[in-house]
Structure formats: structure tokens, C-alpha cells
Amino acid sequence: MEGQYSEKVMEHFRNPRNVGEIPDASGVGNVGNPVCGDIMRLYIKVDEKEVITDAKFKTFGCGAAIATSSMVTELVKGKTVREALKISNHAVADALGGLPKIKMHCSMLAEEALKSAINDYLAKKKKS
Amino acid sequence: MKKVYLDNNATTRMREEVLEAMMPYMTNVYGNASSVHAFGREARLAVDGARQKVADFLGASSKEEVVFTSGGTESDNLAIKGALRALKAKSGHIITSDVEHHAVLNVFKFLEREGFEVTYLGVDKDGAVRPDDLKTVMRKETIFVSLMWANNETGAISRISELSKIAKSGGAIFHTDAVQAAGKLPFAVRDFGIDLLSISAHKINGPKGVGALYIRKGTKIAPQMLGGHHEMGKRAGTENVAGIVGFGRAAELAGSELAAESKKLVDLRDHLYDGISSRIDHTRLNGHSSDRLPNTLNISFKYLEGESIVLNLDMEGVAVSTGSACTSGTLEPSHVLTAMGVEPVDAQGSIRFSLGRDTTKEDIDYVLDVLPPIIKRLRDMSPLYEKGK
């Protein structure tokens, strides 16, 4: 293993927050592929004021992938959709006390999963 | 917390007897083995004694066929580059396999960039090189063949005697990386016609930083480390006397205990496999069901990524390793497993358990207790698992 995980990463890996699914999610984001070793599925629930009231995830991946999934669900809760779109991969990594260099792609995946879930929500809203 | 070390293919614990043998050479016997005075002669005697022990362990014809190095990686480099350099070859056809250790694979890739033509042999579904494949790719201009004896990730064993015969009868020099085979499989290298064979001390409960290259009498090697006349002119540098003495002792012990150890390891390893199979669904054994190293078990836990399992086991005090991409620093899962035809997604979830002489039945039972809840918890988190349920 190249580089050590921070205490915060390990804490989120040991006790990931918001694992699971939201059956009536407002938006779902699916990113990654098994060949690269990471798949993230992110569910968000958005209220009428465009505030993200709940977020859950399911992830296939390494310690960093699970910790970043956990952290991104924590970061988006209570934020408006517009605010959530501004959450970058660096913000997720920083909130975890940093990631080993070779694991930074996991934080990219978290950002992409969030964007994908929000885009799904926006597309659904447009249709209805 | 209980600690269970099941990563013996990475390295092993040095034995007390080995440390004991080394101790005098760290302090009291400190002469340079090349010096003519009494201090030097005492060190020389120790180095030559160890050389004889390693030669006996390998079944070499004489101790002059054993050259000490800094480890398996250096032995591989010296064998391949040294033999080609001695031939003054700057190009030509050379052969290796897809499942070699990087200490061999990256030397071949380097040589390929330097102008050699390289054939990389595939393996069968159990991870062994097929002798017929070697026969097919041998040409009259093939000058060198390097094929590993036993694989570090899966424990797959290739038929080295046959492979060596094919390479030799085609006029090529034959090298094998026997770092994992040594101490685990019984053999006498003189019976196999092998020209060059690499081993490492720390894989057989010896010290780190010492290895050896067996060079069959008559095989020409150009030194890769230039300097003094050490190691019969094949590897310059003041001998690591204490390390070499430790290596000799470790080889002596490993050789005398091999048969009994192998039997014990097979029993424990199969107990682990049976336990996992009966407690956990959706697993895949990577490698042959019986014909592999006695201590090695490589299993894929489907729908999971290996590093997350390694970290969880680590929290329970259990040390194992994985062939997942996330640990290797690349995005590709284990080159060994993919060469065997294991799907990349299954390769990502592979865990290697490698047992050692300290492993007990209690250790295995402990792993069988802590592993199933870890797999369940991670699968409940995995978006891939729903399909498999």
C-alpha cells in the first residue's frame, strides 16, 4: 500500500455514514467501473426548496472509495442543489484530512457521483 | 488483540536459531572476508560454510555454483542481464511469461526497449506455463528463457524440469525464479539441467537483504556490480557476512524440515479453504485445487474490492494481501490473475493467504471467525452484490 490513510479516512472507513439506498430518491448517480476497482452509487433526496435532505450510498471499492463516499453524503446534507454542485473532489479529500496521492482518483469519483445524482434529479424535474 | 500473520509469501519471520547463528558475526567476528589475516579468515570460513549449506539446500553440485547477492531481485537481474551480457548479445529472441514477478518482468521490458525481441508466454487457467507453449515459441535464435518455478500470488507450480529441457535442447540458457519454490517444494537443482536459479533468504525464515544466484558450472555470467573480486568475480562488494551466515542456517533448517512442514501447511491451508467455502458464498479459488504451493491460498470474494477486505482484516489483527488494483498503485488488477483468465472484477476481490511455519490451527480458526462478518458487511455496502443475491 503506497501512503498511509489519515485517521479521519480510517474512521469513515470503519464507520461509514449513510450506507444504503433511498427507494424514492430524487436523483441517483452511478459512476465508475469494476475493471478500475471502483463503483459508486449515490442517492439524494431533495425537498421543494431544492435542499438535499438525505443522501445514501453504495460503493464497491477500496478504503478511500468507501471513506470518500461516506464523506460526500455528509457534506451534501442540508445544502441546496446549487451549493452541492460546488463541492469539489478536493473539498471531499480535505474534509477527510487528505488522501494518499494514488487515491485521489477516489475523491474524483465522489465528486462525479454527486454531479451525476444532481443531474439525474434535474433531468427528472425537467420532465415532470 | 490476537495477531495472525498470513502474508508469508511477502516475507517471513526470522527464526531465533538464525539470529543466534548470526549474532557473533555482527560484533566479534567482524573481519572482511577478503582479508588474509585471522580476522578475515574467520569471516571467510563462515561465508564458505554458508555457501555449502545453501548449495546443499538447492542440491547444487558444488558450493562454487552459489553466488550471494542482496536478494531475489538482484539475483534475477544478475541472471538475466549478466547472462546476456556475457554472450555480448545486444539483440535476439528471449522468452519469459506473463505471470513473472516484477523483478523478472521489468528486466524483460527493459531489454525489449533495448532491442531484444521478447515473447511473453501465457498460462493455463491454473496459472502454470504449458510446456507445449514453450516448444511452439522456441526458435533457433532464442538465446534465453526465464520462467518462474512457483508463483507468489497463486502458488501455481510450473513443470520446470520439462520447461528447462525444452529451453536447453533449443540451445537457450534457462533461468528460473525459485524465490517462492525454495523451501516449499523438494528439488535438487542439479537434476533439472537448470542454468540459473534465484532464491531469497527472507522467504525461508532468514534475514532480509540476502539472496543467492545458483550458476551451474560452465554458465557464463558478466557481473552487474563492478568492483573487487568478491563472489568469484561475479558480484563485487564486501560480503554481508552476518546475513550470509543467517541465510545458510535458514537454508539448513528449511531443507531438513521441508517434508514435515509441507504436510502441516497443506492441512492448515485446506482447513482454511474448507472453512471459507462452507461459511461464505460467491467465492472463487484462483489456482489449481491441489497442485500448488503447500502454503498458498488465493481466493476471490465476488462483488468486493480486495483492499477493503485487507484493511478490515488488519483491524482484526490479521495480515493478508490482495491483487486488487487499488493496492498496486495502478488501475489494473493483478497481472497474474488476469493472465489466468480471471475476470478483472473478480481479480479486484482477490485475497492471498500465505501461511508459514508459525501458523497454527488456532490462527486459522480465528480468521474463520472474523472473516464472514467482514465479507457480509462489505457486500451489504456493494452495489454489485444485489445481482448475486
Residues on chain A bordering chain B, Cβ-to-Cβ distance under 8 angstroms: 1-2, 10, 13-14, 16, 19, 30, 34-41, 58-66, 102-103, 105
Does the pLDDT at position B372 exceed 90? Answer: yes
Instruction: Compute CA B248 distance to the chain's CA centroid, rounded to the nearest angstrom.
Output: 18
Instruction: Compute CA B383 distance to the chain's CA centroid, rounded to the nearest angstrom.
Output: 36
Q: Is-catalytic flag, A106?
A: yes
Domains and CATH numbers, chain A: 7-121 (3.90.1010.10)
Query: DSSP secondary structure string, B110-156?
Result: HHHHHTEEEEEE---TTSPPPHHHHHHH--TTEEEEE--SB-TTT-B
Return the C-alpha cell found at B186: 523438494
Q: What is the pLDDT of residues B156-172, one digit of tens each?
A: 999 999 999 999 999 99
Taking an 8 Å cut-off on Cβ atoms, the answer to whether A14 and B308 are in contact is no
In angstroms, the separation between the Cα of residue B264 and the nearest Cα of chain A is 30
Does the pLDDT at position A3 exceed 80? Answer: no
Give residue B388's pLDDT: 56
Distance CA B336, CA A124 (A): 44
Give residue B326's pLDDT: 64
CATH topology of domain B16-254: Aspartate Aminotransferase; domain 2 (3.40.640)
Provide CB contacts within 8 A for B78, sequence distance 6+: B67, B69, B213, B221, B223, B224, B234, B235
> Could you give the residue numbers annotated as active site of B?
326
| CB pairs < 8 Å spanning A and B | 69
Give residue B152's pLDDT: 96
What is the reported pTM?
Answer: 0.94
Residue B147's alpha-carbon distances to B80, B136, B173, B339, in angstroms, are 11, 15, 11, 14
Instruction: Compute CA B387 distance to the chain's CA centroid, rounded to the nearest angstrom.
Output: 37
Q: Could you report the predicted ipTM of this complex, rounded to two decimals?
A: 0.92
Architecture of domain B4-11+259-388: Alpha-Beta Complex (3.90)
Nearest chain A residue (CA) to B386: A58
Taking an 8 Å cut-off on Cβ atoms, the answer to whether B345 and A35 are in contact is yes
- Cβ count near B191 (within 10 Å): 9
Give residue A16's pLDDT: 97
Adjacent-strand bridge partners of B211: B69, B200
Domain boundaries, chain B: 4-11+259-388, 16-254
Q: What is the pLDDT of residues B286-329, one digit of tens each?
A: 999 999 999 999 999 999 999 999 999 999 999 999 987 665 56
In chain B, what percentage of residues exceed pLDDT 70? 97
Across chain B, mean pLDDT equals 96
In angstroms, the separation between the Cα of residue B309 and the nearest Cα of chain A is 8
Euclidean distance between the first and final Cα of chain A, in Å? 48
